[in-house]
């Protein structure tokens, strides 16, 4: 049956090649012509002029992306003793594979343990993270995890702002970009405009791993505790409950979860303005009918200390104007 199906498939392909080759040739020529057109377009003066008008916005986006990548590199706390590393060699004459033993590696965030410990870590992950990775429930450790949580939270919030800003920039020039380029070469368009590649995944979150390998090296079990935003928030609360608080400022500080602290910091803000503009040689030549009024409202989000992301919508006599920038205007 399989041989018959294979023969039928072969003959169908052969028939298509014999009778449909003109169509395939035309399609290949269309693709080739389009690729040549795209190369010429991206090197042309018209595209260069479009690219020049948005360079400042693209630079701001790329700076924001670089900072997000820095935040992603935040490391978690591990206080395990490094006993070194050894190479595994199986000298058994029975040629047993023992794949699980071959894959064992030393890593700060991996704990090789018994099946019982592995199963208990699944039931009480925070308790066993503290026990086997040397994490003490004190204010210093709590501060480190809060810092990691705030960095990761800022990275996730920044990704949302970055995605919205990239979309706004592309939308602002959409009318000037040919339909075919937008439809078939979106990634090439973003690359040629100068956008850096952005990783919107959440794979960067670190994890603690409990790993059991059987004595024979053929079976094993692994439990991963991924320290994402939700787990970090819950772990901060867990550490807070474990710490014996005093009435000191530091003790009261530790009672706050990261979400509450971010709320207190007031990372969100609103700005409004009203202004008049005029140009005159002296005060005797001020004509009020030539005054140019402007007013508007803006949103501020504190990405990190003394660095605000701002969205402003301003109005003049002619038309409204929307701007995006990092840092304040003054």
pLDDT in tens, 178-204: 898 888 888 888 888 888 877 777 667
Residue 239 structural domain: 33-265
111 and 230: one domain?
yes
231 and 273: one domain?
no
SS3 state at 322:
strand
98 and 185: one domain?
yes
145 and 288: one domain?
no
Separation CA 234–CA 227 (nearest Å): 10
Residue 246's pLDDT is: 43
Residue 186's pLDDT is: 87
SS3 state at 89:
coil
- Output the tens digit of pLDDT for each of the chain's 330 residues: 566 676 677 777 777 666 666 777 788 888 898 889 888 988 988 888 888 888 888 888 888 888 887 777 777 766 655 656 666 566 666 555 666 556 666 677 888 888 899 999 999 999 999 999 888 888 888 888 888 888 888 888 888 888 888 888 888 888 888 898 888 888 888 888 888 877 777 667 888 999 988 877 677 888 999 988 999 999 999 988 888 654 445 555 555 555 555 555 566 778 887 887 777 777 666 676 677 888 888 877 776 666 777 778 788 877 777 776 776 655
186 and 155: one domain?
yes
Separation CA 133–CA 3 (nearest Å): 57
Could you say which of 224, 248, 265 is where a domain stops? 265
166 and 299: one domain?
no
SS3 state at 74:
coil
Which tokens hold the place of 12?
């169908």
79 and 216: one domain?
yes
Residue 13 lies in a domain: no
By C-alpha distance, which of 130, 156, 140, 129 is closest to 262? 156
What's the domain count of the chain?
A: 2
Residue 6 lies in a domain: no
177 and 326: one domain?
no
Residue 233's pLDDT is: 92
SS3 state at 224:
strand
191 and 114: one domain?
yes
Residue 207 lies in a domain: yes
Which tokens hold the place of 157?
């919030």
Residue 329's pLDDT is: 57
Residue 211's Cβ-count burial label (10 Å; 0-12, 13-18, 19+) is buried
228 and 289: one domain?
no
Which tokens hold the place of 237?
């609360």
Residue 17 lies in a domain: no
Residue 25 lies in a domain: no
155 and 50: one domain?
yes
Separation CA 295–CA 74 (nearest Å): 41
Could you say which of 240, 265, 290 is where a domain stops? 265
Residue 235's pLDDT is: 92
């Amino acid at each position: 049956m399989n041989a018959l199906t294979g023969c039928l498939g072969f003959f169908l392909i052969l028939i298509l090649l014999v009778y449909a080759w003109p169509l395939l040739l035309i399609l290949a020529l269309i693709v080739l012509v389009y690729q040549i057109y795209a190369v010429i377009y991206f090197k042309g003066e018209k595209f260069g002029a479009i690219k020049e008008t948005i360079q400042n916005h693209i630079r701001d986006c790329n700076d924001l992306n670089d900072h997000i990548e820095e935040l992603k590199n935040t490391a978690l706390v591990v206080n395990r003793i490094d006993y070194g590393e050894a190479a595994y060699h199986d000298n058994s004459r029975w040629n047993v594979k023992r794949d699980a033993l071959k894959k064992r590696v030393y890593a700060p965030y991996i704990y090789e343990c018994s099946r019982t410990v592995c199963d208990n870590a699944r039931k009480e992950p925070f308790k066993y993270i503290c026990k086997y990775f040397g994490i003490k429930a004190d204010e210093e450790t709590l501060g480190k995890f809060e810092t990691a949580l705030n960095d990761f939270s800022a990275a996730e919030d920044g990704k949302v702002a970055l995605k919205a800003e990239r979309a706004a920039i592309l939308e602002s020039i959409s009318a000037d970009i040919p339909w075919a380029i937008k439809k078939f070469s979106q990634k090439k368009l973003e690359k040629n405009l100068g956008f850096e590649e952005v990783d919107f995944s959440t794979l960067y979150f670190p994890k603690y791993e409990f790993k059991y390998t059987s004595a024979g090296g053929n079976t094993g079990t692994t439990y991963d505790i991924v320290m994402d935003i939700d787990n970090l928030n819950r772990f901060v609360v867990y550490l807070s409950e474990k710490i014996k608080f005093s009435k000191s400022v530091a003790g009261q500080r530790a009672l706050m979860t990261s979400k509450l602290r971010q709320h207190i910091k007031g990372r969100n803000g609103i700005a409004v303005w009203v202004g008049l503009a005029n140009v005159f040689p002296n005060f005797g030549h001020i004509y009020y009918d030539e005054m140019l009024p402007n007013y508007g409202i803006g949103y501020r989000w504190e990405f990190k200390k003394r660095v605000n992301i701002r969205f402003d919508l301003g109005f003049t006599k002619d038309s409204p104007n929307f701007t995006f920038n990092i840092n304040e205007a003054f």
